Amino acid sequence: MPSPHYLTAPSRPAGLAVLTLVLAIGLGGCKRAAESPAPARPAAVQAPAVPARTREQAMAQLMALPEVKAWSEQIEKNSHGSAHGAVIEDDTAPRVIDGKPYYQLSFVENRKQSVHRRASFLVAKNGDDILVEDALTDTVESLSEWRRNVQRVELKSH
């Protein structure tokens, strides 16, 4: 009994033509895929860069603190203008705390004969952090902690 035609293997020339056609389509598809641009990757989400603060900006920020402004005005008033409040840099090398560099600055009472330090501050080169050094205990505290302590001292002295 002759086998049905759909089960018979194609003749060699016809099979070769089908194979060539399949390969051509496959390779053509690969070539088109290679030519088409890759889909755009979404941009990596990065935290916004915190701008670096200059030494002058750090000094100006300290002079703008309400406590430092009050001290400066008090010095001017009590000395009748012969002494002034000023911010000076204690050391040009940054102090590094927890991997973060800080300017080492102090608020001083500047007189002709002498300079009296009122407080020492560490102002972050990047970010808004301001720390206050306590020379008596050799510790550093945040500005908000220092403000609470300064208010307690000022209240006791009145």
Give just the sign of the alpha carbon dihedral 89, 108, 99, 54: negative
121 in Cβ contact with 139 (< 8 Å): no
Per-residue confidence (pLDDT) for residue 51, from 0 to 100: 73
Q: Each residue of 25-65: pLDDT tens digit?
A: 555 554 444 555 555 665 555 656 667 899 999 999 999 99
105 in Cβ contact with 88 (< 8 Å): yes
| Beta bridge mates, 80 | none
Q: Each residue of 61-93: pLDDT tens digit?
A: 999 999 999 999 999 999 999 999 999 999 999
Give the best-scoring range by mean pLDDT among 15-29, 57-71, 127-141. Answer: 57-71
Between 87 and 20, residue with greater pLDDT: 87
User: Which residue ranges make up each domain of the chain?
Assistant: 11-35, 55-157
